[in-house]
Amino acid sequence: MIRLVRCTLLLCLAIPPAASAAPQPRPPRPPENVQVLTELDGQPLRAEMQRIAAALGVKCDHCHVQGNFASDEKSPKRAARRMLEMTRALNARHFPDYGVKEGESVLGRVTCFTCHRGMTAPLTAPPAP
């Protein structure tokens, strides 16, 4: 009698709980065409992209083709990659000891915003009064 009960319990345990049949969220795809910000992916890469967009006063589609973030088709994206290289080199050479704080750009002391200030073309001189 006791044996039978044990068996029934084991059978119950063998049946997977219903929740495991539910679809699992897909793991995020790794970036395909990141050449400068190679230490970033997922949410930290998104956050840096949001800072870049805000620094230039543009939306993602200024640089990115709809539905294909990896594409280099748009020239502002190619320009932005050269700017990433320039900014990285500048910080490495002139501000190597700057400690990036939580929520700041990973680039360092000089960021896209330092020059661009919400514009695609930075000013050369202060605007006339």
Among 8, 9, 42, 50, binds ligand HEC (CB under 6 A): 50
Segment lying near ligand HEC (by CB under 6 A), choices 11-19, 20-28, 47-55, 95-103 = 47-55
Contact 114, 121 (CB under 8 A): no
- 20 vs 124, beta carbon nearer ligand HEC: 124
Residue of 9, 65, 79, 92 that binds ligand HEC (CB under 6 A): 79
Q: Which of 20, 28, 58, 89 binds ligand HEC (CB under 6 A)?
A: 58
The count of C-alpha atoms lying within 13 angstroms of the C-alpha of 2, restricted to the half-sphere facing its C-beta, is 0
115 binds ligand HEC (CB under 6 A): yes
Q: Which residues contact 118 (CB under 8 A, 6 or more apart)?
A: 54, 55, 56, 57
**76 residue type, one letter:** P
Identify the residue among 121, 125, 126, 127 touching ligand HEC (CB under 6 A).
Answer: 121
- Residues 93-111: b if buried by 16+ CB within 10 A, e if exposed: eeeeeeeeeeeebbbbbbb
Among 44, 65, 80, 99, binds ligand HEC (CB under 6 A): 80
For the chain, the residue count is: 129
Told to check if 98 binds ligand HEC by CB under 6 A, we report no
Q: Which window, 1-9, 10-18, 62-70, 92-100, contacts ligand HEC (CB under 6 A)?
A: 62-70
